Amino acid sequence: MSDHSEVAYTTADGNDYVAHEATYEGFIKLVKFGTATVVIIVALMAIFLT
The whole-model pTM stands at 0.65
Per residue in 4-49, pLDDT tens?
A: 666 666 555 667 788 889 999 999 999 999 999 999 999 999 999 9
The CA-atom distances, in angstroms, between 16 and each of 4, 13, 30, 31 are 23, 9, 21, 23
Sign of CA dihedral 38, 43, 49, 50: positive
**Is the confidence at residue 3, as pLDDT, over 60?**
yes
User: Is the CB of residue 15 less than 8 Å from the CB of residue 9?
Assistant: yes
Mean of the per-residue pLDDT values of the chain: 85
Q: Which of 32, 9, 35, 36 is nearest to 20 (CA)?
A: 9
The CA distance from 23 to 15, in Å, is 13
